[in-house]
């Protein structure tokens, strides 16, 4: 994995708005163009209205005009790896193929790499609606 995803996710994590959980998360997605889009979690005083880092990275990618994710990286602040939450797995699914690598990073770099299929097997996606 090249370093640009890791750098983008770390930079994004620094911008996280997480005053309620104090759990800052950064994510980076690579679009089909090769460009990388960062995102951070943005919490809200009305707790359920907060959004995850993956969701904001996906929003940045879509805003830039891309619609395919080829690689994802997530980095939290804990020792334990931060794998994408269930909702984010589905959000990634909208734009990514089953074999898309999802890297989970810790303080020392990438801790593990999983595929979207491993994280969200037998998933529902755009094809189900056609």
Rounded least distance, CB 76 to ligand THU, Å: 7
Q: Which stretch binds ligand THU (CB under 6 A): 7-15, 78-86, 91-99, 111-119?
A: 78-86
Is residue 59 at the binding interface for ligand THU, with CB under 6 A as the rule? no
What span, in angstroms and rounded, lies between the C-alpha atoms of 120 and 110? 20
Rounded least distance, CB 65 to ligand THU, Å: 24
Q: How many CB atoms lie within 10 A of CB 9?
A: 27
What span, in angstroms and rounded, lies between the C-alpha atoms of 87 and 36? 21
Binding mask 9-48 for ligand THU (x = CB under 6 A): ---------x--x-x-x---------------x-x-----
Question: Per residue in 58-74, is it b (16+ CB within 10 Å) or e — as a string?
Answer: bebbeeeebeebbbbbb
94 assigned to active site = no
DSSP code per residue over 82-102: -PPPHHHHHHHHTTB-TT-EE
What span, in angstroms and rounded, lies between the C-alpha atoms of 126 and 130? 7
Rounded least distance, CB 53 to ligand THU, Å: 4
Q: Which stretch binds ligand THU (CB under 6 A): 64-72, 80-88, 103-111, 112-120?
A: 80-88
Give the residues lining the site for ligand THU (CB under 6 A). 18, 21, 23, 25, 41, 43, 50, 52-54, 82, 84-85, 88
Residues annotated as part of the active site: 54
């Amino acid at each position: 994995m090249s370093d640009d995803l890791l750098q983008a996710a770390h930079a994004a994590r620094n911008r996280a708005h997480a005053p309620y959980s104090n759990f800052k998360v950064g994510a980076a997605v690579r679009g089909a163009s090769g460009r990388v889009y960062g995102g951070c979690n943005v919490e809200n005083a009305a707790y359920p209205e907060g959004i995850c880092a993956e969701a904001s990275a996906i929003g940045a990618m879509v805003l830039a005009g891309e619609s395919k994710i080829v690689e994802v990286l997530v980095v939290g602040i804990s020792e334990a790896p931060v794998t994408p939450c269930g909702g984010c797995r589905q959000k990634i699914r909208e734009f990514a193929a089953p074999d898309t690598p999802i890297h989970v990073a810790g303080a020392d770099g990438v801790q593990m790499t999983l595929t979207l299929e491993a994280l969200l097997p037998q998933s529902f996606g755009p094809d189900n609606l056609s």
